[in-house]
Amino acid sequence: MTDAATIAVYGTPPAEVVDVPSGATQFSPLMPGASSLEQQSDGSLVAMTMLAPPGTLERRYVIAQALRALAPQAPFTILAPNDRGGTRLRKELQAFGCAIEESARRHHRIVIGTRPEKPAGIADALEQGGPRLIDDLGVWSQPGVFSWDRLDPGTAMLIAHLPPLKGRGADFGCGIGLLAHAALASPEVTEITLVDIDRRAIECAQHNVGDARARFLWADLRSADLTGLDFVVMNAPFHDAGAEDKSLAQQFVTRAAKALGKGGVCFMVANRHLPYEAILKPAFKRAELMIETGGYKIYEAHT
């Protein structure tokens, strides 16, 4: 928990849309090392500027956490792009009992208000957007994490084709830990590091992968220091902050090649439309397409 009287920021509000007070404490779970809103005590924040996330359940959850943690009458500024939840902000804040003013700038809606004495509907929003056991899948998940309430077809395909593994490995961009869980079915795996940039995913993975061989790392893979591995499994992301970013997937591939020792192997699943061959071939000694079906490709690459 951070100190009382904290000025808070959530995410990276564009500087051309709103000013963020200097020295504000970051609370986004997508920024490794940031403070946790969940752990912030009631009424301890003196102000909040939030770039609200696009998913409705996730957005209502973080706004409810912010209203819980703000002191009564403390000011907030909440904004979102028009097409990513912005047009819903006014009604959502009013439903929490907030009197607000709304403005628009550079394709964003901005709502400004103060935390009411008794916000309405907080418990409901926290329950609907909080971590929970997904009965159908038998795993812990949370709105906002990757494919939070359904098994991603690419993930399912890699799990179905994963051969026995051995030694020390990593699950790059582990999400809620499904690939690592599958890798740990191999008795010769001695250790696996699950890395993700999303704290909520790592916390769910800790529930889902109850195995003494698992290590958990809340980090940006692009700066994580992993070396000498025997294997890497991954369903590489190709979105950064919601926008398609092929360079992110490319960086996952080159990081995998660097993290593997000699004779290491990487199994990855990717969307068919992404140009992986061109990145895999120079990064690895040998890279093969194992299977292509249903819009996905699985590659096996060796160092």
Ligand X SMILES: C[S@@+](CC[C@H](N)C(=O)[O-])C[C@H]1O[C@@H](n2cnc3c(N)ncnc32)[C@H](O)[C@@H]1O
In one letter, which amino acid is 99?
Answer: A
Task: Rule CB under 6 A: say whether 220 interacts with ligand X.
Answer: yes
Residue showing tokens 């704290």: 199
The span of 36-44, 107-115, 123-131, 214-222 binding ligand X (CB under 6 A) equals 214-222
Contact string (CB under 6 A) for ligand X, positions 276-295, x = contact: --------------------
68 or 181: CB nearest ligand X: 181
Task: Rule CB under 6 A: say whether 174 interacts with ligand X.
Answer: yes
Task: Rule CB under 6 A: say whether 195 interacts with ligand X.
Answer: yes
Distance CA 143, CA 29 (A): 13
Cβ contacts of residue 299 below 8 Å, gap of 6+?
266, 267, 268, 269, 270, 276, 280, 287, 288, 289, 290
Distance CA 103, CA 114 (A): 15
Q: Which residues in the 230-249 window bind ligand X by CB under 6 A? A: 235, 237, 248
Q: Residue 196 Cβ, how far from ligand X at the closest point, in Å?
A: 5
Task: Rule CB under 6 A: say whether 222 interacts with ligand X.
Answer: yes
The span of 56-64, 103-111, 196-204, 294-302 binding ligand X (CB under 6 A) equals 196-204
Among 50, 173, 257, 270, binds ligand X (CB under 6 A): 173
61 or 146: CB nearest ligand X: 146
Contact string (CB under 6 A) for ligand X, positions 129-148, x = contact: -----------------xx-
> Binders of ligand X: how many residues, by CB under 6 A?
20
* Residue nearest ligand X (C-beta atom): 173
Task: Rule CB under 6 A: say whether 53 interacts with ligand X.
Answer: no
The span of 11-19, 63-71, 217-225, 273-281 binding ligand X (CB under 6 A) equals 217-225
Among 113, 129, 144, 175, binds ligand X (CB under 6 A): 175
Using CB under 6 A as the criterion, which residues of the chain lie in contact with ligand X when the complex forms?
146-147, 152, 155, 173-175, 178-179, 195-198, 201, 220-222, 235, 237, 248
